[in-house]
Structure 1
């Protein structure tokens, strides 16, 4: 990519998806069930192993923080608070050709810990130990 190319094709596609999401949300103030359906559709489009990870994360997040509403965000599964701001999101490795998937938290998450703390975590596999850590992070994010 040359300097003048700007965004990659994947980044442009994600921005177009976000524009569609904003239009849909503005139309009728998306219901939680619609957000759930959108996420399941996106998960269904993911490569098998990535889709399994995203589905398991969805189960963990919705069980741990039922006050968060599922929605898509830049074409990725995300979970927002009551005012619609995304708290936590999943980005599959295939989305941008990365070597690992990520679980991220926006500034609306209450993960504050001193002067510096992590907000994005690399995910390779979901083990019982990793799931326990994710559950604790989600609980802390929505406290």
Structure 2
């Protein structure tokens, strides 16, 4: 079976479905007294690229990345819980946006861990492809 036949024999929905998972923040679970579970989703490639571009600054020959902006972009796009957009919740924590709320709610390490988890779901940080080499004698 060639690649085209294999693709046609496979349910397209299975191939194109974005990954989801739950991610607990133990510190907040302990503080609240109930499981603090975030619902994460894989971010589509085009949106990941937009987040990367918005976090990158190019000046002449110099390129720099704003890691915090990158992490917040990943969190805002990858955390699906709509409770973080609730106007009463935002007001209660003195936040204007979900990014503001995340910066107040999560520690720097938690922000990095959540961003890394979302990044892993998008295929970064792990080997998601296999290179096949032709060996000629």
Q: TM-score range by the shorter chain?
A: under 0.3
Tell me which structure has the larger Cα radius of gyration.
2
TM-score, scaled relative to structure 1: 0.27
Whose strand fraction is larger, Structure 1's or Structure 2's? 1
